Structure 1
Amino acid sequence: MRLSFRDKAISGLLTVVPANERKFVDEMANFNFSQARSLKLKQVMGYDRHRIVAGPVCASDLAVAGIEHLLAGGHLVRDDIDALIVVTQSPDYLMPATSHVVQGRLGLHADMICLDINQGCAGFIVGLMQGFMLLDQPAVAKVVLVNVDVLSRKVSPRDRNSYPLIGDAASITVLERREDAGVIEAELKMDGTRRETLMIPAGGFRRPSDAETAAMIEDAEGNVRSLDHLKMDGSAVFNFVMTEVPELIGGLLARTGTTVDEVDAFLCHQPNRFMLQKLADKLAVPHEKMPSNVVENFGNSSGVTIPLVTTFNLADALLAGSRKVCLAGFGVGLTWGAMLMRLGPLRFCEMIEYREDV
């Protein structure tokens, strides 16, 4: 699906990461693999450390901390928020929506839209699309887009396939109308026939959690998890990314008459360093134009990784001026999307830490 947006812009970007940092070498003993095999994986995939919540922290906790930081710094005014979108696959409750929880905790006014979107790795792209569409309404002048996940709480610490790369984080993106913003072009595709590639099998109404779903089972590769935990088919994910994503991004560039040289940065979802470097090679993008350093420093925080790679690598540049960027998200669903836009100058672009003891 092709989408275009005019006179819409990102005006600011904040990311929130837990202060709790865990190192891969300290967690290797939890896995049913030799130290040598685990260290080889660390080298190839780019594992080093990740940020995960230390206790029963929920999505709304990270979201509220981020928005309160912006309110305190004068970057947001409570009464100016016309719409609040929360994109998460780890909501506080089955009901009510996490956006309502955040609105209530912050004491925001009632004359606004609160909306939850259940999306993961491509959630930032989907959230931007929804936010830009809301800005077509005369009554909506400012949209706050929250991407947040605390999926470490649903990944087995004995699953070497997933646990070393998982991270928790939130991002707060402010969207506004801007007449000089130019045209934003986007592409989005979805394929639910491959939904089991990334899945938490139990915990919903299809398979409620019980004693049976909590039982820990070792798979053929030596990973130990239950049906209540995230299960990822790593080979299928890799093949999906290498097959579908280059075609999508390449098609977007071709449709808009844009060359790789004309794009300043390809800001992609961060599954791991190895996969991103292979993706860059497929697209003939220089590695320095596609940063791949998020998983080794913070972990894969699902839809938050695009804002995270942006604030971690381009904050100074985007505060000072603008860059032509290609955003791309791909994963659970399966869902894959890309967006070509001019980003910046931003009013704020920073990263803060969330501390459970504050």
Structure 2
Amino acid sequence: MGASIKAIEFYLPENKVSNEDLLAKFPDYDFAKFEKKVGIKNRYWVSEEETALDLAVKACHKLFYKIEKEQIDYVIYCTQSPEYFLPTTACILQERLGLSTDIGAFDYNLGCSGYVYGVSLAKALIESGQSEHILLVTAETYSKYLHPDDKSNRAIFGDGATATLISKDTIGGLKNFSFGTDGSGAQKLIIKNGAGRYPVDVDAALLTYGSDNQYTDNHLYMNGPEIFNFTAENIPNFTQKVLDKNNLQIDDLDYFVFHQANAFMLEFLRKRIKAEKEKFYIDLEDGGNTVSNTIPIALKRLADKGTWDGRAKVMIVGFGVGLSWAGGVIEIETNI
């Protein structure tokens, strides 16, 4: 008995924010250079009334045009943008989607590595006989956490949601996975206020980082250079670890789909692991960094290109906030 990804859909909010839109607010920022280096042209942000759950529901409804929702017997929901502190958003999603009450459902709080973790969790639930058809959902609205004058992060992050059906089969399209964690780097990408350690501070001091980017401890802070250094130091060797765990050589893979953080970082990683350019997928110009959504969006867009017949062997690797990273090998078809 094994498990495979059967279908993927994604949803982006209607509110498109182009680099030209941001230039109107930040006229001194070189968005032409940003676009060339980072690779982002547009990102999509929710309205004030929209939540990540709203996006998740729409992504799932797109999936239900292709699959029978009655078969779903488990919901796994990855988000750092929960509807409430409690109850778990997955329970609300079950009701919003009209799914059976005879199912399991839980949230987990992970960012850029979240999709890979979710695929691995689904594999484990299926192969242990606890489930047969799992709905894996990712949904994020980082735009709600960004300070209005934080031009760097406002240029990078977009909102979105994805829905993936992972089902029991005899093929076993989900192979082996590896993981990494380093909580000593938690302060490098963080929202300090608003949870259990520190409450929201209505008088929070205005802080500055980088090139005159402003934020408070109520907002998202990212030390971009340190995140890049962490990625450069860990992910190339980790990629080899994933290959070894799957008894593969780099040439055995058809594609590499890494977390779509920024094009410069991805090109750096491609060269470090010595992957062929045509096998290393980079496509974040329309959507930006959507956190846990980037890998499933990239998988769907890659599959929709129809550039292979049958099944493609793909390495997926996520890395970021936590610090957390995860990777594995999957086989997917073009009709997901």
Which TM class, normalised by the smaller chain length?
A: over 0.9
> Following TM superposition, by how much is the alpha carbon of 1:21 offset from its aligned partner in structure 2, in angstroms?
1.0
1:148 aligned residue: 139
2:58 aligned residue: 65
Please give the secondary structure, in 1, of the residue aligned with 2:281. Answer: coil
1:327 aligned residue: 316
Please show how residues 107-256 of structure 1 align to structure 2 within 5 Å: 107-181=98-172, 184-213=175-204, 215-219=205-209, 221-256=211-246
For the pair 1:18 / 2:13, whether they are aligned, the reply is yes
> Following TM superposition, by how much is the alpha carbon of 1:145 offset from its aligned partner in structure 2, in angstroms?
0.3
Structure 1 residue runs without a partner (length 5+): 1-5, 350-358
My pick for the range that moved more, 230-239 or 47-56, is: 47-56
> Following TM superposition, by how much is the alpha carbon of 1:176 offset from its aligned partner in structure 2, in angstroms?
0.8
Cα separation, 2, equivalents of 1:201 and 1:169: 23
* TM-score using structure 2 length: 0.94
Question: Which residue of 40, 51, 56 maps to 2:33?
Answer: 40
> Following TM superposition, by how much is the alpha carbon of 1:208 offset from its aligned partner in structure 2, in angstroms?
0.8
> Following TM superposition, by how much is the alpha carbon of 1:150 offset from its aligned partner in structure 2, in angstroms?
0.9
My pick for the range that moved more, 171-180 or 105-114, is: 105-114
For the pair 1:342 / 2:331, whether they are aligned, the reply is yes
Deviation string, structure 1 residues 41-92 (Cα, Å, up to 9, x no partner): 3322223211111332111111111222333x251223x2110010000111
- How much is the aligned-residue C-alpha RMSD, in angstroms? 1.9
2:286 aligned residue: 297
Which amino acid in 1 is paired with 2:68? L
| Change in 2 beyond 3 A, CA 1:274/1:176 | same
> Following TM superposition, by how much is the alpha carbon of 1:261 offset from its aligned partner in structure 2, in angstroms?
2.0
2:265 aligned residue: 275
* TM-score using structure 1 length: 0.88
> Following TM superposition, by how much is the alpha carbon of 1:162 offset from its aligned partner in structure 2, in angstroms?
1.0
| Change in 2 beyond 3 A, CA 1:23/1:66 | same
CA contact 2:88–2:106 (8 Å) conserved in 1: yes
Structure 2 residue runs without a partner (length 5+): none
| Change in 2 beyond 3 A, CA 1:293/1:183 | closer
Cα separation, 2, equivalents of 1:254 and 1:113: 33
> Following TM superposition, by how much is the alpha carbon of 1:181 offset from its aligned partner in structure 2, in angstroms?
2.1
Please give the secondary structure, in 2, of the residue aligned with 1:135. Answer: helix
CA contact 1:199–1:232 (8 Å) conserved in 2: yes
Identity across the alignment (%): 28
Which amino acid in 1 is paired with 2:295? I
1:77 aligned residue: 69
Which amino acid in 1 is paired with 2:36? Q
Which amino acid in 2 is paired with 1:85? I
> Following TM superposition, by how much is the alpha carbon of 1:220 offset from its aligned partner in structure 2, in angstroms?
5.6
> Following TM superposition, by how much is the alpha carbon of 1:106 offset from its aligned partner in structure 2, in angstroms?
1.9
My pick for the range that moved more, 284-293 or 296-305, is: 284-293
| Change in 2 beyond 3 A, CA 1:138/1:38 | closer
| Change in 2 beyond 3 A, CA 1:183/1:206 | closer
Question: Which residue of 105, 117, 137 maps to 2:96?
Answer: 105
Cα separation, 1, equivalents of 2:283 and 2:162: 17
Q: How many matched pairs?
A: 336
For the pair 1:52 / 2:45, whether they are aligned, the reply is yes
> Following TM superposition, by how much is the alpha carbon of 1:29 offset from its aligned partner in structure 2, in angstroms?
4.1
